[in-house]
């Protein structure tokens, strides 16, 4: 290094060379830099990636379709929409459910978040956004576009908050027991029709070295599906719907206590699940079914695609929880989530057109055939490329295999279920399996949590 | 010729100018969020409403009667006490084992440090597999040894879940402490150890009274890191159990996250986070002070 340069870096030398003018210059340069930055340099333009003459309006859509098949189908549908609206471009962002819950509300309240957000239904989820005025009511659009007539009533109920429609419900899903008929036949067993038969089936299968039902409840949510299956069966769809959505009823009744006991005590004692089900998460449990190591799996219609890929050539069926005491079988049904419009969106009309496009016949076919997602609207799938399991799942989701008013029920974690109630279910059902709580105690906890919201 | 500033004015101003970027980062990413957390802790904000209602000290009063908060705090004390003691002892032992740089030292050092660089997600998933009740190698190993009565669902039993997750966390933490002790051991005066041996001190006495005092700085650093890390523990628990089963692995950090982001009680979550911050700060100060007093 040159001596004069070294001199410049010594404390004294440096001081000598810095004048007020130098500092003013430096400050000016910094100010200019921040000024330019504030003017937009370095920021993503709302039309980022666009070519000269590209569309003027970008619609920001956040959804939760993260699996490959669903993501591809969604991209196709969105592209189809933009191809029909030359002035529009969709900027799509995907998040899983947890991420969406964590950042969705912040993004919406910022005013620069998504125009359209695909968010979980219910008072504890989208209800929060509605209370904060972050999403706009859709009753006017429902009237204008005819959604009220097209969309299944149960789905509309899910997307309504205090009587007002806030979302375009999507993904008609049911919780169910998938069974591997090929394995069951090989084991010399038959698919159970009643709850007593299920208990016997479990005990026999266990003796023969099979895992009867792949189910684990280390995660917070699988026990909600399980409880939904038992509660719908014991209470009936109408009564449970009134309790979950209209707060008409109570959770600490003998029927609810019985539902809890039957699933989390009786089935466990009969050996229906792998040991230590509190230590196994949902995906690990389901993986046993996919690997051909379990005869049944407690899951939902969203799992159809994965099952078909993992078990080609095997005969797979779908049933609701076997009948308890001659009561009708009921599939817990609901919307996975719903599309909501940001109340701060500057492109409300375009966003409304986008929502209306999602259930056009051409889009519905892509949802069903390619995404394996069932929109809550009527459609005729004859002639479509669907597997046997897909058709069975479709039937279950559309009418429960019979009369939809009887055979399609509700998920206990939807409607007015708030965070405290959800937590009381997870912790309570884990405690029963661990032997630290009784069903009646948990039923009491559920009612207290329900009242506390 | 430019007009000069006062005798010291220019250099002071320049000094402050150089400090400005770091101060700005600290202000924006530490002090401002801290101040906002204090503000939020005095409200009932749910994370979405545009207006947060001021509730005074209600969140702090609620905390005193929140059974799950005290339970989580208890778990944290187990985690910090047991976890820090085991990690500190284990890392020191490992460092001593390779102190004289045996053959394969580099391999040992890499193996011991490896868990430290693994992402928490990987550690959580791998240990979940190890503990899996059906195909986990822990239960299979116990079965192979004829100890099948010991096999259980380690993460599903409220009596063992906390310790099972803690073991995974210790495994992931030991690497850093090992490296710090290994570095500190290079500065130990071995002549003092030899002298103590000549004077008749046994192994334990040499370690306790000659070796450890020379590692005082490293011990303090490792202890503070482990204690603060222990109170902040979140990732392994969240990945492996999410605080369950039946809240048996709920820690302050997981409970804070759950309240703020899952239950939409940001006001109460902020209160919990401030308590956690205060505990971490107090722990660090007390540990450093205690070590200083001991050395004095």
Question: What residues does each domain of chain A span?
Answer: 57-171+335-369, 173-334+388-452
Report how far residue A267's alpha carbon sits from residue A42's, in angstroms, rounded to the nearest whole number: 60
B 139-198: CB under 8 A from A: 152-158
CA angle (A52, A56, A61) in 5-degree steps = 120
Whether B14 and A23 lie within 8 Å, measured CB to CB: yes
For B244, the closest of A129, A277, A427 (CB atoms) is: A427
Contacts of A105 in chain B (CB under 8 A): 47-48, 264
Report the length, in residues, of chain A.
Answer: 453
What pLDDT score does B49 carry?
86
In this predicted structure, the answer to whether residue A51 has a pLDDT above a threshold of 70 is: no
- Token pair 């947060």 in the structure block, residue: B52
In this predicted structure, the answer to whether residue A185 has a pLDDT above a threshold of 50 is: yes
B205-to-B169, B193, B197 alpha-carbon distances in Å: 31, 10, 9
In this predicted structure, the answer to whether residue A186 has a pLDDT above a threshold of 70 is: yes
**What residue spans of B186-265 are helical by DSSP H?**
190-198, 203-206, 212-214, 216-232, 235-240, 252-257
Whether A276 and B156 lie within 8 Å, measured CB to CB: yes
For B133, the closest of A22, A219, A280 (CB atoms) is: A280
The class level of CATH for A57-171+335-369 reads alpha beta
Q: Using a CB–CB cutoff of 8 Å, tell me whether B244 touches chain A.
A: yes
B 15-34: CB under 8 A from A: 17
pLDDT tens digit at each of 296 positions of chain B: 445 556 667 778 888 899 999 999 999 999 999 999 999 999 999 888 888 999 999 999 999 999 999 999 999 999 999 999 999 999 999 999 888 877 888 888 888 888 888 999 999 999 999 999 888 999 999 999 999 888 888 998 899 999 999 999 999 999 999 999 999 998 888 899 899 989 988 988 898 889 988 998 899 889 888 988 888 899 999 999 999 898 999 999 999 999 998 888 999 999 999 999 999 889 888 888 887 776 66
Residue of A nearest to B13 (CA): A23
For B264, the closest of A11, A23, A128 (CB atoms) is: A128
Whether A436 and B246 lie within 8 Å, measured CB to CB: yes
Rounded to the nearest angstrom, the minimum Cα separation between A391 and chain B is 33
DSSP conformation letters of A171-196: EEEEEEEEEEHHHHHHTT-----BHH
Contact assessment for residue A396 and residue A318, using Cβ atoms and an 8 Å cutoff? yes
Work out the average pLDDT over A336-346: 94
Contact assessment for residue B280 and residue B272, using Cβ atoms and an 8 Å cutoff? no
Report the length, in residues, of chain B.
Answer: 296
| A-B Cβ pairs (cutoff 8 Å, strict) | 122
Work out the average pLDDT over A172-196: 95
Structure tokens at B48: 């979405």
The predicted-structure confidence for A4-37, as pLDDT tens digits, reads as follows 333 333 333 333 444 445 444 544 544 444 443 3
In this predicted structure, the answer to whether residue A194 has a pLDDT above a threshold of 80 is: yes
Q: Which residues pair with A58 in a beta bridge?
A: A89
Whether A274 and B134 lie within 8 Å, measured CB to CB: yes
B 248-287: CB under 8 A from A: 258, 261-265
DSSP conformation letters of A194-228: BHHHHHHHHHHHHHTT-EEEE---SSSSHHHHHHH
A224 confidence band (pLDDT: 50, 70, 90): very high
The predicted-structure confidence for A241-289, as pLDDT tens digits, reads as follows 999 999 999 999 999 999 999 999 999 999 999 888 999 989 889 999 9
Report how far residue A131's alpha carbon sits from residue A223's, in angstroms, rounded to the nearest whole number: 28
CATH code, A173-334+388-452: 3.40.190.10
Run of H or E including A419: helix A419-434
Phi, psi of A171 (to 5 degrees): 60, 80
Whether B264 and A275 lie within 8 Å, measured CB to CB: no
CB atoms within 10 A of CB B98: 18
Report how far residue A25's alpha carbon sits from residue B15's, in angstroms, rounded to the nearest whole number: 17
Phi, psi of B23 (to 5 degrees): -65, -40
Pairing of strands A160-161, A316-319: unpaired
Give the predicted TM-score (pTM) of the model: 0.79
Residue of A nearest to B263 (CA): A419
The predicted-structure confidence for A113-171, as pLDDT tens digits, reads as follows 999 999 999 888 899 999 999 999 999 999 999 999 999 888 898 899 888 999 999 99
What pLDDT score does A197 carry?
96
Rounded to the nearest angstrom, the minimum Cα separation between B34 and chain A is 18
Whether B157 and A274 lie within 8 Å, measured CB to CB: no
Distance of CA B167 to the CA centre of its chain: 13
Q: Which residue has the higher pLDDT, A181 or A402?
A: A181
What pLDDT score does B7 carry?
63
B250-to-A98, B76, B238, B255 alpha-carbon distances in Å: 18, 8, 9, 6
Provide the angle, in degrees to the nearest 10, between the axes of the packed helices B161-185 and B216-232.
150
The SS3 assignment for B63 reads helix
The SS3 assignment for B51 reads coil
Whether B3 and A109 lie within 8 Å, measured CB to CB: no
For B46, the closest of A128, A426, A433 (CB atoms) is: A128
Q: How far apart are the first and last CA of chain A?
A: 71
Report how far residue B214's alpha carbon sits from residue B208's, in angstroms, rounded to the nearest whole number: 10
What pLDDT score does A5 carry?
36
Residue of A nearest to B245 (CA): A430
A251-to-A99, A162, A259, A414, A446 alpha-carbon distances in Å: 30, 21, 11, 14, 6
Report how far residue B258's alpha carbon sits from residue B236's, in angstroms, rounded to the nearest whole number: 15
Whether A21 and B156 lie within 8 Å, measured CB to CB: no
Structure tokens at B145: 């040894």
What pLDDT score does A54 carry?
52
Pairing of strands A57-63, A211-214: unpaired
Nearest to A272 by CA among A389, A173, A192: A192
CB atoms within 10 A of CB A386: 16
Residue of B nearest to A132 (CA): B49
For B261, the closest of A102, A428, A434 (CB atoms) is: A102
CA torsion, ordered A356, A303, A309, B134, to nearest 10 deg: 160
Whether A436 and B158 lie within 8 Å, measured CB to CB: yes
Work out the average pLDDT over A61-87: 93
What pLDDT score does B100 carry?
81
Report how far residue B164's alpha carbon sits from residue B162's, in angstroms, rounded to the nearest whole number: 5
Predicted ipTM > 0.90:
no
What pLDDT score does A122 carry?
87
Architecture of domain B74-295: Orthogonal Bundle (1.10)
Contacts of A102 in chain B (CB under 8 A): 261
What pLDDT score does A26 carry?
46
The predicted-structure confidence for A292-329, as pLDDT tens digits, reads as follows 999 999 999 989 888 988 999 899 999 999 988 889 99
Whether A134 and B48 lie within 8 Å, measured CB to CB: yes
Phi, psi of A362 (to 5 degrees): -65, -35
Work out the average pLDDT over A364-374: 92
Q: Which of A18, A98, A279 best probes binding to B when mutated, by most B CB atoms within 10 angstroms?
A: A279
Whether A278 and B157 lie within 8 Å, measured CB to CB: yes
Mean pLDDT, rounded, of chain A: 86
For A132, the closest of B17, B50, B247 (CB atoms) is: B50
Nearest to B196 by CA among A178, B204, B287, A416: B204
Report how far residue B180's alpha carbon sits from residue A331's, in angstroms, rounded to the nearest whole number: 58
């Amino acid at each position: 290094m040159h001596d004069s340069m070294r001199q410049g870096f010594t404390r004294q030398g440096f001081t000598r060379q810095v004048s007020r003018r130098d500092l003013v210059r430096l400050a000016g340069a910094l100010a200019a830099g921040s000024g330019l930055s504030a003017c937009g340099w370095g920021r993503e333009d709302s039309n980022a990636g666009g070519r000269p003459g590209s569309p003027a309006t970008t619609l920001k859509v956040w959804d939760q379709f993260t699996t490959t098949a669903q993501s591809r189908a969604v991209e196709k549908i969105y592209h189809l929409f933009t191809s029909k609206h030359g002035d529009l471009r969709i900027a799509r962002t995907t998040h899983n459910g947890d991420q969406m819950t964590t950042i969705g509300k912040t993004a919406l309240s910022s005013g620069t978040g998504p125009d359209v957000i695909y968010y979980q239904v219910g008072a504890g989820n989208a209800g929060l956004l509605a209370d904060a005025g972050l999403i706009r009511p859709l009753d006017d659009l429902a009237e204008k576009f005819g959604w009220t007539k097209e969309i299944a009533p149960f789905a509309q109920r899910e997307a309504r908050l205090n009587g007002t429609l806030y979302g375009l419900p999507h993904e008609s899903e049911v919780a169910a027991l998938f069974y591997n008929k090929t394995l069951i036949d090989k084991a010399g067993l038959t698919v159970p029709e009643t709850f007593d038969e299920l208990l016997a089936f479990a005990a026999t299968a266990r003796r023969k070295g099979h895992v009867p039902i792949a189910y684990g409840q280390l995660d917070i949510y699988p026990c909600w599906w399980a409880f939904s299956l038992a509660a719908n069966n014991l209470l009936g769809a109408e009564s449970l719907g009134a309790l979950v959505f209209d707060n008409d009823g109570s959770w600490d009744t003998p029927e609810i206590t019985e539902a809890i006991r039957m699933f989390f005590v009786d089935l466990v004692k009969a050996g229906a699940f792998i040991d230590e089900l509190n230590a196994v998460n949902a995906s690990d449990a389901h993986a046993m079914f996919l690997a051909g190591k379990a005869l049944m799996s407690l899951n939902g219609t969203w799992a159809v695609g994965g099952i078909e890929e993992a078990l080609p050539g095997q005969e797979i069926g779908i049933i609701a929880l076997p009948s308890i005491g001659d009561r009708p079988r009921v599939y817990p049904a609901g919307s996975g989530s719903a599309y909501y419009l940001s109340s701060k969106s500057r492109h409300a009309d375009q966003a409304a057109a986008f929502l209306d496009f999602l259930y056009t016949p051409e889009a519905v076919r892509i949802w069903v055939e390619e995404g394996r997602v069932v929109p809550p609207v009527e459609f005729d799938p004859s002639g479509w490329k669907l597997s046997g399991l897909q058709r069975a799942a479709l039937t279950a989701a559309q009418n429960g295999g019979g009369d939809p008013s009887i055979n399609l029920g509700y998920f206990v974690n939807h409607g007015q279920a708030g965070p405290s109630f959800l937590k009381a279910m997870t912790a309570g059902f884990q405690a029963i399996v661990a032997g630290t709580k009784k069903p009646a105690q948990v039923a009491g906890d559920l009612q207290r949590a329900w009242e506390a919201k | 010729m430019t007009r000069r500033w006062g005798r010291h004015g220019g250099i002071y101003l320049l000094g402050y100018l150089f400090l400005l970027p770091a101060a700005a980062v600290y202000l924006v990413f530490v002090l401002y969020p801290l101040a906002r957390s204090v503000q939020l802790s005095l409200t009932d904000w749910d994370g979405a409403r545009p207006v947060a209602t001021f509730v005074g000290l209600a969140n702090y009063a609620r905390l005193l009667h929140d059974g799950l908060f005290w339970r989580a705090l208890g778990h944290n004390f187990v985690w910090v006490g047991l976890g820090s003691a085991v990690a500190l002892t284990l890392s020191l032992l490992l460092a001593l084992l390779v102190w004289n740089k045996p053959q394969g030292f580099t391999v040992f050092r890499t193996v011991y440090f490896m868990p430290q660089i693994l992402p928490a997600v990987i550690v959580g998933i791998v240990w979940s597999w190890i503990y899996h009740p059906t195909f986990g190698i822990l239960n299979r190993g116990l079965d192979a040894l004829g100890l099948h009565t010991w096999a259980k669902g380690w993460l599903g039993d409220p009596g063992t879940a906390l310790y099972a997750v803690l073991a995974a966390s210790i495994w992931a933490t030991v690497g850093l402490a090992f490296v710090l002790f290994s570095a500190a051991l290079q500065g130990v005066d071995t002549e003092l150890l030899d002298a103590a041996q000549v004077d008749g001190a046994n192994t334990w006495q040499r370690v306790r009274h000659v070796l450890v005092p020379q590692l005082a700085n490293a011990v303090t650093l490792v202890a503070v890191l482990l204690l603060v890390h222990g109170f902040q523990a979140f990732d392994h628990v969240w990945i492996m159990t999410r605080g369950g089963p039946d809240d048996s692995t709920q820690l302050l950090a997981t409970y804070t996250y759950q309240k703020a982001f899952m239950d939409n009680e940001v006001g109460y979550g902020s209160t919990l986070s401030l308590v956690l911050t205060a505990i971490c700060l107090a722990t660090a100060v007390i540990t450093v002070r205690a070590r200083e007093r001991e050395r004095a």
